[in-house]
């Protein structure tokens, strides 16, 4: 909180964006905290992390 404003610094891909009072400054889209992301976004995130996890497990064995 800065004064009466709620601030979030968010990394979106290769860009860093600032969300003030629930609105991104650059794109003017609505800010959605990670806890409120849809299930499909979580599934895509897990799928994207699988190669990293698999390479880590491969290096340990």
Position 42 in a domain: yes
Position 49 in a domain: yes
Which pLDDT does position 1 carry in this prediction? 60
Q: What is the pTM of this model?
A: 0.48
Per-residue CA distances from 44 to 2, 17, 55 (Å): 33, 21, 18
Position 13 in a domain: yes
Higher model confidence: residue 57 or residue 1?
Answer: 57
Return the half-sphere exposure (C-beta side, CA atoms, 13 A cut-off) of residue 61.
6
Which pLDDT does position 34 carry in this prediction? 72
Non-local (6+) Cβ contacts of 27 within 8 A are: 17
Question: What does the alpha-carbon distance between residue 47 and residue 45 come to, in Å, rounded to a whole number?
Answer: 5
Number of domains in the chain: 1
Position 1 in a domain: no
Which pLDDT does position 47 carry in this prediction? 92
pLDDT tens digits for range 7-61: 888 887 888 889 999 899 888 889 887 777 778 888 898 999 999 888 988 888 7
Position 2 in a domain: no
- What ranges in 1-61 are assigned the alpha helix state H? 39-60
| Residue 52 belongs to domain spanning | 7-60
């Amino acid at each position: 909180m800065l004064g009466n404003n709620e601030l979030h610094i968010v990394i979106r891909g290769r860009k860093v964006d600032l969300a003030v009072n629930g609105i991104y400054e650059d794109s003017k889209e609505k800010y959605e905290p990670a806890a409120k992301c849809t299930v499909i976004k979580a599934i895509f995130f897990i799928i994207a992390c699988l190669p990293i996890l698999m390479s880590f497990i491969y290096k340990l064995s």
